[in-house]
Structure 1
Amino acid sequence: MPPEGLRRLPPGELVLRARGGDEAAWAALTERYSPMLWAIARAYGLSRVDAADVVQLTWLRLVEHIGALRRPARVGTWLAVTARREAARCLRERRGRFDDQPLEVLPDPAVFDAVLAGRERLRAVMEAIGALPDLCRQMLRLLALSPTYAEISAALDIPIGSIGPARARCLASLRKRLEEAG
């Protein structure tokens, strides 16, 4: 299990560290992306054994190509595309072994791309929120729950009149962090 500090690093930083041989960075990458790879492989209708092969081959491909990644921050997308290709290859091989069995309809790659992009954006937002000062994190959480300014004022023990400006500063800081990460 990787140290907590590594878990919070952006994907691109983890890739750069893994390129340099940092085993903890590799552990953080596998912890972060293995569930997604399993979901992709299983979405192709693969057995547990075949899905495990796809996940393992996907990680092997990253080991083989990590030095060639042009956009390390997009490692999640690279892994998803590679997993889809490995899953499709596995299905083709299975078709060759079992010609008399119908092949399942493959999931639409655009759906995977959209889900992956959404997950990457959500992860980036959550990481950026986690890096904000405590007051900003608390305020943004409360605002997401839609309480009134009076409730926010009471919860954070700040004047109602300072909520709007503080909210604007927190959102500006969040935007800046997301632009830097993206």
Structure 2
Amino acid sequence: MLTSQADVRDLVAAALGGDQGAWRDIVDRYSPIVWAACRAFRLADPDAADVAQTVFLRLVEHLPAIHEPAALPGWIRTTARRECLRAIEDRNRQALSRFDDLATTQLPPDPRSVDEALLAGERNAALRDAFATLSTECQDLLALLMRDKPLPYKQISAMLDRPIGSIGPTRLRCLNALRSAPVLAPWAPTAACAEGHTP
């Protein structure tokens, strides 16, 4: 296996020139980085395989822009983390979609319950729209914090490559940004309701 930066530079140049063997060498050499990220995010094997495929497809697209061989492992590691987070978000979105489908296909016959279910669906849609307006940093952090099985801050710190002490304050800032999203304004409690008064 090649080890020096000069060898990596030659390998990248050969891959850019269409050498399939060079591409295979790149995939063989850097796959462990991708799989390590997938394990850190606890992805199932099928999801991890999808992430690996996507990472190397992205590499095909971006390899001409990577001029320094030393940057390649970091680029692959960062891209793998982003794709892992995207896979988690997709899985969460699919779960929400299945929940929404279940809620709309099994509406109870009571008209008040139907109204409540419709309002809940609208509120959930507004919440998803508000989530989409958050920064990538906030989306990544909140996606990890909202998993079915919450992860400890120590693991989230390692996954996002950020100090553990910054997670709590960042979480609070992100939740405040989510609450203040204009799309959620109609769902915010009024001052009277917040104090326990009825209109």
Question: Which position in structure 2 is the counterpart of 1:58?
Answer: 55
> Could you say which structure has the larger radius of gyration?
2
Instruction: Return the match for 1:110 from 157, 161, 176.
Output: 161
How far off its partner does 1:104 sit? 4.9
Residues in 2 aligned to 1:108 and 1:40: alpha-carbon distance in whole angstroms:
8
Q: Report 1:1-182 matches (<5 A).
A: 7-8=2-3, 10-99=7-96, 102=148, 104-105=150-151, 106=156, 107-110=158-161
Aligned residues: 106
Kept after mapping to 2: 8 A contact 1:45/1:104: no
Relative to the length of structure 1, the TM-score reads 0.52
Relative to the length of structure 2, the TM-score reads 0.48
The RMSD of aligned alpha carbons is: 2.2
Letter in 2 for 1:102: D
Residues in 1 aligned to 2:61 and 2:150: alpha-carbon distance in whole angstroms:
30
How far off its partner does 1:39 sit? 1.4
Kept after mapping to 2: 8 A contact 1:12/1:73: no
How far off its partner does 1:30 sit? 1.0
Residues in 2 aligned to 1:12 and 1:33: alpha-carbon distance in whole angstroms:
14
Alpha carbons of structure 1 residues 70 and 102: separation in structure 2 relative to 1, 3 Å: same
Residues in 1 aligned to 2:67 and 2:150: alpha-carbon distance in whole angstroms:
34
Q: What secondary structure is seen at the aligned counterpart in 1 of 2:32?
A: helix
Residues in 2 aligned to 1:104 and 1:21: alpha-carbon distance in whole angstroms:
44
Kept after mapping to 2: 8 A contact 1:95/1:103: no
Residues in 2 aligned to 1:35 and 1:83: alpha-carbon distance in whole angstroms:
11
Unpaired segments of 5 or more residues in structure 1? 112-182
Question: Which position in structure 1 is the counterpart of 2:176?
Answer: none
Alpha carbons of structure 1 residues 103 and 65: separation in structure 2 relative to 1, 3 Å: farther
How far off its partner does 1:53 sit? 0.2
Alpha carbons of structure 1 residues 67 and 76: separation in structure 2 relative to 1, 3 Å: same
Higher relative contact order (CA 8 A, sep 6+): 1
Alpha carbons of structure 1 residues 58 and 38: separation in structure 2 relative to 1, 3 Å: same
Alpha carbons of structure 1 residues 72 and 103: separation in structure 2 relative to 1, 3 Å: farther
Residues in 2 aligned to 1:8 and 1:48: alpha-carbon distance in whole angstroms:
29
Residues in 2 aligned to 1:50 and 1:66: alpha-carbon distance in whole angstroms:
24
Kept after mapping to 2: 8 A contact 1:15/1:75: no
